[in-house]
Amino acid sequence: MKLLLYSLIVIILMLIAFPVYVKWHLRNFDEGFIYTVLNISSPPSNYFDEIVSIKINHKGYQKLNLSHSYAGKYIVKVVTDKEASFFGDMKCSNMVLEFSSKDYLEYVEKDKEYWLSSYSVPSEIPFNSQCILKFDTSKAVTFKIIKLSHS
């Protein structure tokens, strides 16, 4: 009877503690076997939330307050059709990303997304940082930053 009671207590503690441990581990580590397993098998519900999503239809600049919840790689995207031309840069305290419609990592046709660049948190940019986005575009675009599933 005691063994059953202790087993039940351990199971309940694991069910409560495991999600807390997953969030803590993914926030503090961005590589390794445990990181990869947790990243693929049980990411928290807010793990892939957009960090930024801004509609841009002109030339100008925008201040960005980036608040990253987890360590690891983040991808910078622009959503638009293939005919749009754009260029810009994102300057943060210790990082500058430059991008254009002619120089990109990948174009995803079904989502109409240009994958422009990526960066790592916290090695290249801190969890919370202020950046300035300068942009010039021929058509309306949506600028996004999201968490990559695994790096």
User: Is pLDDT at 151 greater than 60 in this prediction?
Assistant: no
The residues, ordered by sequence, that sit 6+ positions from 101 with a Cβ below 8 Å of its Cβ are: 78, 84, 85, 86, 87, 114
User: What's the pLDDT score for residue 114?
Assistant: 84
DSSP state of 94: T
**Nearest to residue 76, comparing CAs of 117, 111, 126?**
117
Question: What's the angle, vertex CA 41, arms to CA 39 and CA 42, rounded to 5?
Answer: 75
Q: How many CA atoms lie within 13 A of 18 on its CB side?
A: 10
The residues, ordered by sequence, that sit 6+ positions from 90 with a Cβ below 8 Å of its Cβ are: 64, 76, 96, 97, 99, 131, 132, 133, 134
> 124 falls in which pLDDT band (50, 70, 90)?
confident
> 115 falls in which pLDDT band (50, 70, 90)?
confident
User: Beta-strand (E) ranges in 38-85?
Assistant: 52-56, 60-67, 72-79
What residue type is 129 in one-letter code? S
Q: What rounded mean pLDDT belongs to the chain?
A: 86
pLDDT digits over 59-93, tens only? 888 898 989 999 988 988 888 877 778 888 899 88
pTM of the model: 0.81
pLDDT digits over 13-44, tens only? 888 888 888 889 888 888 889 888 888 888 88
User: Is pLDDT at 47 greater than 70 in this prediction?
Assistant: yes
